[in-house]
Amino acid sequence: MELHQLTIHELQEKIRGGGASALQIAESVFSRIDAVEDRVHSYIRLMKKEAMAAAVRADEQIKKGDIQPLTGIPVALKDIVCTQGIPTTCGSHILHQFVPPYNATVVEKLAAAGAVFVGKANMDEFAMGSSTETSSFGPTRNPWDLERIPGGSSGGSAAAVAAGECIASIGSDTGGSIRQPAALCGVVGMKPTYGRVSRFGLIAFASSLDQIGPFTRDVEDCAIMMNVLAGYDPKESTSVRAEVPDYRRFIGRDIQGWRIGIPGEYFIEGIDPEVSAAVRKAIETVRQCGASIVEISLPHTRYCVAVYYIIAPAEASSNLARYDGVRYGLRTADARDLAEMYEKTRMQGFGAEVKRRIMIGTYALSAGYYDAYYGKASQVRALIRRDFDEAFTKCDAILTPTSPTPAFRLGEKTDDPLQMYLSDIFTISANLAGIPGISVPCGFSASGLPIGVQFLTGHFEEGRLLQVASAYEKSAAVEKRRPSL
């Protein structure tokens, strides 16, 4: 097995035992990138020079016996988190030359934990999309089938882990943008509780929904990453002062006697039969782990997508008002006055999906429509959250499909925004309610495409979420396949 194929904990063992150096690990990852990146296109920008220097520094630390949780581990960053001195585009032409003057808090934390940054991963423009096709820098392809999308918006981060172009990566999830690509690329992806991970330096999309989280090759690695990422940050007013447990302690614990809730509303018509079969098999596996299966109801599920497509665009239309060609980013060359400069800069800088969402959001917040749209959606959002509060009195965790279908083909949904939006139908509710969710691989379709199962728990119960996910992962022992690139 080559180094780029291993997990964080396997590499840590090698590093501790002298079986591999940080430099060898970095070289293995970059030679893999040389071999596959032109086909997959996981990255907007590679940071090879910085990575090699960081690997050399990591080896010096290792020699001194100073081994941190991620020392020498190659990690990719979604190009939505700010990196000081390294261009950060958010997948958008409007930011193609933006060089942040500071690091996001997660970047600082990962660096302090010894991570080696491989590059900035591709994404849907401003994280608006479910396929990574709206990136201004061209689409990422699914490593399992290059004619298919990797999911999105964090498609580059998911594909990089699946393709061996990094060991773990960082994504952001506003309506499923970590969990859906994780499912479609056959990796583990977690969206933590709203407020669990600092968003300082995360380029804002929808501020009441956005959350940063990891992509990894297994659940234990997810716990290792969460140990580094989680925690209160005085620079981020929505981060929560809640105790952070050692997440790794939850790995390997059993779920004997747990009640796993299955919401009928998530097993609807229109869900791909192979996805349905794989997820039903996952339910059986969980039962064999000693958990009892309870039927629950989340009655407002069918309204989630509608609520999301008011709230997220409304917040986005405000957040993206800052891209006006004045302080940073693109400025049009041909404008006679200030107003024209704004309008032309934004026309040239934003892609179609971003414009569409700014328009929906602006309309939903405009005079005369606010109550009918934003007000109404915020009320239904409260009902959706109430559904979960109610459900968690009857069960310890909820199990659902992550995505209604395996990866679809490039171009299949680009002309039909509503169809694209519906691919997040099972993931959006967790963002609206603020609860944590994780997608874990649960099998493959007949044509060899990965399928994911999603687990959800209550607010700040990431530990228990990792516990049920790792118990499932261990018991399911889903066949270890690698994409044949």
As measured in angstroms, the least distance from the Cβ of 208 to other proteins is: 5
Instruction: Check 153, 154, 403, 470 and give the catalytic one.
Output: 153
Site string for other proteins, 175-194 (x = CB under 8 A): ------------------xx
Contact call for residue 456 and other proteins (CB under 8 A): no
Contact call for residue 108 and other proteins (CB under 8 A): no
Contact call for residue 350 and other proteins (CB under 8 A): yes
Q: Is 237 a catalytic residue?
A: no
**Positions 188 through 247 that interact with other proteins (CB under 8 A):** 193-195, 208-209, 234, 237-238, 240
**Positions 269 through 308 that interact with other proteins (CB under 8 A):** 300, 302-303, 305-307
Whichever of 102 and 276 has its CB closer to other proteins, that residue is: 102
Q: Is 78 a catalytic residue?
A: yes
Whichever of 69 and 417 has its CB closer to other proteins, that residue is: 417
Contact call for residue 329 and other proteins (CB under 8 A): yes
Whichever of 39 and 235 has its CB closer to other proteins, that residue is: 235
Whichever of 260 and 420 has its CB closer to other proteins, that residue is: 420
As measured in angstroms, the least distance from the Cβ of 390 to other proteins is: 14
Whichever of 137 and 374 has its CB closer to other proteins, that residue is: 374
As measured in angstroms, the least distance from the Cβ of 302 to other proteins is: 8
What is the size of the binding site for other proteins (CB under 8 A)?
Answer: 74
**Positions 434 through 453 that interact with other proteins (CB under 8 A):** 434-435
As measured in angstroms, the least distance from the Cβ of 421 to other proteins is: 8
Q: Is 153 a catalytic residue?
A: yes
What one-letter code names the amino acid at 114?
A: G
Which residues are tagged catalytic?
78, 153, 177
